[in-house]
Homo-oligomer: A and B are copies of this chain.
Amino acid sequence: MFRIAPRLRLVKPRQVCSSWRNLNTQGTGLGLPETLRRVLDNGISGQTVRVTGWIRSVRVQKRIAFAEVADGSTLKGIQIIMDDPQMANELTTGCSVEIDGVLADSPGREQSKEIQVTAVNVLGRSDPESYPLQKKRHTLEFLREIGYLRPRSQTIAAVTRLRDHAEAGLHRFFHDNEFVRIHTPALTSNDCEGGGETFTATTSGSDHPETDFFGKKVNLTVSGQLHLEVFAGAFKRVYNFNQAFRAEPSQTGRHLSEFWMVEAECAFVNDLSTLINVEEEMVRSTTQYLVDKAGADLGFFTQKNEPLTRLVQKLTDRHQQFARISYTEAIDILQKAEEKAKFVYKPQWGNDLQSEHERYLATTHFAGPVFVTDYPAAIKSFYMMPNPDSRTVACTDLLVPGPCELAGGSLREYDYNRLAKKVDELGFEQGSLDWYLDLRKFGSTPHGGFGMGFERYIQMVTGLESVRDIIPFPRHAGRCQY
């Protein structure tokens, strides 16, 4: 049924299935070849197995040959042992294989099982001269240059599995707490955050939005907050998990032009501490989920990294709240530390916290997560709820070691007249926020919400420096590969 390239034999799924009858406990009968994870978890010594994957390394000795096969389902692959070194003749790093053999307990400490090979079948070859991913350690910068192959590297593979589990942990947290997921849009006609660092979506490329596809200027979203507020006005507790877009020209490893965010919005909440409770528990339970479900991948990053190990402990500790201080207290701490810390920017009440300030608070002073609350109104968004002092607003930033600013949230102004006055003062385009205002007309409720950068979260738990190594296909100024 298939054109077969010379020297390429093909897997026969039905055979794979039948040789797996003992292991296949899923019962879906889908006929997919097994993953190595299930071989290692469920296989029994002495059992005949067929596995598929890619060769990570080969070691040929006089009377025996070893190779490591990986398939992305585990941090380490599985060791295969060939009693006849000639069996390894065609094995090169990167080639895809189908291996028949017998499962055996491994004498090594590194893994529990290995395979005594009876037949080797190379499915797709990999020229050892030109294959870019050799066994030697590559830098993350180099791996970025071969973005289409880097998922096979141990670091990127571990990050990918952690992303998968972290997302699952987030969904579990929100569903356990009865939040409804809302699919907020990427294309939007509002630009509430302002700032102008937005992408326009266009079909004509012209400067005349009125003749473009939507008949007006349409941007890629910078945040789903306003859209979530619409649904919080009917569902009480809502969240999203979406891409957001910022045309941030900076060329540091801290910013991506396309990144993932989780945002939540809760109606009938008039207390910032309640919002902080939700935010804190989201981070704690998601991290606990990683510890429980992806311990090996997490361990790959935390082992030999004392501060990261302690951070994960702090994040998952049920008996210890995250630190909570006001912006005013933060400024006080920073001013006292000024001499020792040698800040470039002077900490001063009224100015926004600089990265160096945030880093000092999270990494040096608290050495762990800290919620900073009640920032000056003048440096925060128009929709935030003013505090009774009328100088500050009921908002919070969550600072952590690593990415510094992990999340931000606030109570929202829910009174129509007060919000309308603000919108007016700020000179938004006439009518552009009418629908947002109208939400305050019909059954408005005290409410609030927050957003957390997903890549920043992964950056925090892996300790990786650049967010470019955390997203499958990084996009930033001057770079959009594939």
Contact = CB atoms under 8 A, between A and B. Distances in A.
Contacts of A133: 442
Contacts of A178: 35, 37-38, 73
Given A3-B388, A201-B220, A205-B206, A177 B234 contact: no
A477 B167 CA distance: 33
B26 A177 contact: yes
A387 B1 contact: yes
Interface string A157-180: 100110110011001000111101
A234 B176 CA distance: 32
A127 B441 contact: yes
A385 interface: yes
A1 B230 contact: no
A199 interface: yes
Contacts of A214: 257, 475, 477-480
Contacts of A52: 236, 267-268, 445
A428 to B, nearest CB: 14
A396 to B, nearest CB: 15
Interface string A1-30: 111010010111110000000000010111
Interface stretch (A182-190, A303-311, A324-332, A354-362): A182-190
A213 interface: yes
B125 A234 contact: no
Contacts of A267: 52, 96
A236 B124 contact: no
Interface string A343-373: 0000000000000000000000000000000
A31 B213 contact: no
Contact of A26 (B176, B188, B277): B176
Interface string A109-145: 0000000000000011111001101000000000000
Contacts of A444: 96, 123-124
Q: Could you tell me the dominant secondary structure of chain A's interface residues?
A: loop
A442 B94 contact: yes
A450 interface: no
A48 interface: no
Interface stretch (A78-86, A100-108, A146-154, A334-342): A146-154
Nearest to A477: B213
Contacts of A477: 213-214
Contacts of A123: 268, 443-446
A273 interface: yes
Interface residues of A, number: 140
Nearest to A248: B213
Interface in A233-281: 233-237, 242-243, 245, 247, 249, 257-258, 260, 266-271, 273-274, 277-278, 281
A314 B478 CA distance: 51
19 contacts: A30-B274, A33-B268, A35-B237, A73-B178, A73-B236, A94-B443, A95-B442, A124-B440, A126-B443, A149-B438, A149-B442, A152-B234, A160-B235, A161-B180, A183-B472, A188-B482, A218-B480, A227-B473, A242-B243
Interface of A: 1-3, 5, 8, 10-14, 26, 28-33, 35, 37-38, 52-55, 71-73, 94-96, 98, 123-127, 130-131, 133, 147-149, 151-152, 157, 160-161, 163-164, 167-168, 171, 175-178, 180-190, 198-203, 205-207, 213-216, 218, 220, 226-227, 230-231, 233-237, 242-243, 245, 247, 249, 257-258, 260, 266-271, 273-274, 277-278, 281, 385-388, 394, 414-415, 417-418, 435-436, 438-446, 471-473, 475, 477-482
